[in-house]
Amino acid sequence: MFTGIVQDLGRIAAVDPLEEGKRLTLESAFAGSANDDLEMGESIAVSGACMTVVAWTDTTFSVDVSAESLRRTTLGTLAVGDPVNLERSMKLSDRIGGHLVSGHVDGTGTVRGIRPEGESSVYTFGIPDELLARTIEKGSIAIDGISLTCFNCHDGTLDVALIPHTMQVTTLGSKSPGDRVNLENDLIGKYVERLMEPHKGRA
């Protein structure tokens, strides 16, 4: 479980093919002596997708990305040098600075536009209808693993406002119109939707 608060902006150091998937090696502050509690099998969110650490060195760690994850996320398009948002899994004693994020990506969206608004910027994202149906005005959504508040949620798009700090410490600051992003709907909303399914159409 994660909170959508990015802890490190890592970079892809290597991409190696597997029989069914890819192994990504990432340069990150999470590796090395500064984080000597990093463990084999630990969960780390890579641009919003929960991945398992399978190896590490003093400067890198590696994760294996399954074929399913490659189909459902943007991880399959990453190349050496690309930046990624990283967050280690939360502890029960941690503050939840964002919202509850599982790291299970629901689908992908596209940057439709970016416009300045004072010191901040408003990003418009195209989002699939089934994901848009689970959003609410001023609700939470994870975009590339970043906990954000969405608004203007209609007609296949939603907006988020990014302060300068968020643009500096996450990958969104380097995004351009046409770029794809990983999307995860609010976890509580998804459970409510599932529980209500047997009652659809009833008066």
CATH number for position 122 = 2.40.30.20
Q: According to the model, what pLDDT value does residue 50 have?
A: 97
Q: According to the model, what pLDDT value does residue 195 have?
A: 84
User: In this structure, are 51 and 19 located in the same domain?
Assistant: yes
CA dist., res. 45 & res. 104, Å (int): 9
**77, 181 Cβ separation under 8 angstroms:** no
Enclosing domain of residue 72: 8-88
Number of domains in the chain: 2
User: In this structure, are 125 and 184 located in the same domain?
Assistant: yes
B/e letters for 115-145, b = 16+ CB within 10 Å, e = fewer, are: eeeeeebbbbbbbeeebbebbeeebbbbbbb
Print pLDDT tens along the chain (203 aa).
Answer: 999 999 999 999 999 999 999 999 999 988 765 566 778 899 999 999 999 999 988 899 999 999 999 999 999 999 999 999 999 999 888 888 889 899 999 999 999 999 999 999 999 999 999 999 999 999 999 999 999 999 999 999 999 999 999 999 999 999 999 999 999 999 888 888 788 888 777 65
Q: According to the model, what pLDDT value does residue 120 have?
A: 96
Q: Is 5 helix (H, G, I), strand (E, B) or coil?
A: coil
Q: According to the model, what pLDDT value does residue 89 have?
A: 93
Residue finishing a domain among 53, 88, 123: 88
**20, 67 Cβ separation under 8 angstroms:** yes
How many beta carbons lie within 10 A of that of residue 188, not counting itself?
Answer: 12
Give the predicted TM-score (pTM) of the model: 0.91
For every residue of 71-88, DSSP letters joined together read HHSSGGG--TT-EEEEEE
Within a domain: residue 96?
Answer: no
Instruction: For residue 74, report the phi and psi dihedrals to the nearest 5 degrees.
Output: -90, 0
CA dist., res. 114 & res. 143, Å (int): 15
Within a domain: residue 65?
Answer: yes
Tokens representing 23 are 């192994």
CA dist., res. 119 & res. 100, Å (int): 28
